[in-house]
Chains A and B, each alone.
Chain A
Amino acid sequence: MADMFPGRASSSMSPYHQQGSGANLADILERVLDKGVVIAGDIRINLLDIELLTIKLRLLVASVDKAKEMGIDWWEHDPSLSSRARGADGEVTSGSERLAVENERLRAEVNRLRAVETEHER
C-alpha cells in the first residue's frame, strides 16, 4: 500500500536508509531542536527555553536510548538536571545551594582578611 516511497532518493542510498523511525534519538534531537529553519510562528516559543533544554540534553543525549532501555530516568538522577540528585558522597542535597553557601562563606572570609590588611597598612 502506501508504505513504499518510490521517490527520487531511494535508489542511490538504499544501503544507508536508516534515518526513519529507527534513527538514534540523540541524532534526531540534535537536529530538530538545534537546527532547521527558525521562523517565528504565531505561538512564540521562547528560544531561550529551547536553548537551555538543548544544553541540558547535550549532557545526556548520547545516553538517552540506552538509559531508557535500562529503565533509568536521567532527569531524576543527573545532578545537572535535578536539584534532587545527589553528589557522589550521597549527603549533599543541592549542588547549587551548597555552592551558594560556600560562596557566601568565602566572600566573608575575603572581606575579613582585607579589613585586617588595611589596618596593618595604616
Chain B
Amino acid sequence: MSDDCVSYVYAVGQRGPALESAAAAGTAASGHRGLRAVFGGQLGALVSSVPADQFSEEGVKSQLESLDQLEAIARAHHAVVAAAWEETTVLPMRLATVFLDDARVADMLRNRADELARLLGQLEGHVEWGVKVYADPHGAPTPAAPVPSGTTGAGPGRDYLRQRRARRRVHEHVVHAAEAVAARVAEAAGEVATAGVAHRPQQNGAVAAGSGENVANYAFLVRSQHTQRFQRAVRSQADGMVGVRIEITGPWAPYSFSTSTTAAHDGSTPADAHGH
C-alpha cells in the first residue's frame, strides 16, 4: 500500500489481455504512467494512483468547485475510458470513484461481480450515440419585411413591434417543428437502438447564441453493426426541415447505460434512474 496515494477507478472490464491493452491505451491517451489493470475474480479494473489529499472527501469537493480542475479531472477520466473502450468492453465508473488501495478495488470487484458482469454482458458489442435536436430560428426565413414606415402613419414604433411579433412567431414555429422532429427521432432511433434515454436538454448561455435552442438531448445504445442504419434513420428526420438541426456525437463508451439501476431496455429518463 502506498503512503500518500489512493486508487482511482476509471472503468471495469472482463479479466484478460484485452484489459491489459486497455490499460496501455489509457496510459497513452491520458499520460497517467501509473495506469494499470487490477484483477479480482473474473473482472478487472483500470486504476491509477492519485494523491490522497486531493481525493479525500474535502479534497474532491474543493477540486470540483473549480471549473478548471473539474475540467481537468473530467477530461482525464474520459480520456482513459474512451481509449480503453476502443480495446474492449468496459463499464465507465462515475467520476471520482476512489479506494484506499488496489486490494480494496479487488475486493469490490469480487463483491459486485454478478451485477458488473451482467452489465458488461448487456453492453457487449454496443456503442453509445448522443443525438441532440436544435431549433435554430437563425436558419429559418426572416419574417416578411414590414410595410415601409411613413405609408401607414403609425411610425417606426409600430413597425418595430410588428417585426418583433413576426420574429417571435418564427421562433415558436421553429421550436414546434424541432419538437416534432425530436419525437420522430426518438421513434426512428428506437427501432434500431437497443435502448435509449433522454438527458436534459443543454441550456444555451448568452455566449452560445447562434447555435440554436436544444429541444431534445438523447443517448442511444446501438449495436456496432447497426451504426450506419442508425445514423441514416436519425439524420433523415431533419430532411427538408428549415431551422431544425440534428447533431450526433459519439461513439461514446456507454456511460448513459452503465448506471447500475438503469434497466437497459426501457426509455426511462436518467432522473428516474438515480434516486438511491
Q: Decide whether A and B assemble into one complex.
A: yes
* B24 CB within 8 Å of chain A: yes
Q: In the assembly, what is the distance between CA of A58 and CA of B21, in Å?
A: 35
Minimal beta-carbon separation of B204 from chain A (angstroms): 5
Given contacts A21-B79, A31-B256, contact A13 B227 (CB under 8 A): yes
Interface contact A37-B208, CB-CB below 8 Å: no
- A43: Cβ under 8 A from any B Cβ: yes
Write out, one digit per residue, whether chain A residues 34-60 have a CB within 8 A of any chain B CB (1) or not (0): 111111011111100110010000111
Given known A16-B250, A24-B249, A36-B258, contact A45–B96 (CB-CB < 8 A): yes
Q: Please tell me if the beta carbons of A42 and B104 are within 8 angstroms of each other in the complex.
A: yes
**A20 CA to B81 CA, complexed, in Å:** 9
Asked whether B194 is an interface residue with its Cβ less than 8 Å from the other chain, the reply is no
Number of A residues near B (Cβ < 8 Å) is: 56
- Whether the Cβ atoms of A63 and B6 lie closer than 8 Å is no
**Which residue in chain A gives the minimum CB-CB distance to B271?**
A34
Residues of B47-96 at the interface with A, using a CB-CB cut-off of 8 Å, are 55-57, 60-61, 64-65, 67, 70-71, 74-75, 77-79, 82-83, 85-88, 91-96
CB neighbours (8 Å) of B95 from chain A are 32-33, 36, 50
B82 touches A19 (CB 8 A): yes
Cross-chain pair count, CB within 8 angstroms: 190
Of B55, B224, B260, which is within 8 A of A37 by CB?
Answer: B260
Once the chains bind, are B256 and A37 in contact (CB under 8 Å)?
A: no
Q: Which of A62, A68, A70 has the most chain B CB atoms inside 10 A of its CB?
A: A62
Cα distance, A57 to B28, chains bound together (Å): 29
| Stretch binding the partner chain, chosen from B142-150, B175-183, B195-203 | B195-203
Q: Considering the chains assembled together, what is the distance between the CA atoms of A30 and B141 in angstroms?
A: 33
Q: Across the interface, do B224 and A7 meet the contact criterion of CB distance under 8 Å?
A: no
3 closest cross-chain pairs (CB), A and B? A63-B205, A31-B255, A7-B86
A residues at B contact (CB < 8 Å): 2-3, 5, 7-10, 12-13, 16-21, 23-39, 41-46, 49-50, 53, 58-64, 66-68, 70, 72-75
Residue pairs across A and B with Cβ atoms less than 8 A apart, 15 shown, are A7-B87, A8-B87, A9-B224, A13-B224, A19-B250, A19-B251, A20-B79, A24-B249, A29-B70, A32-B94, A36-B258, A38-B259, A42-B6, A62-B214, A67-B207
Given A7-B25, A21-B29, A41-B108; 6 other pairs, CB 8 A cutoff: A12-B224, A25-B74, A37-B119, A39-B9, A43-B60, A45-B96
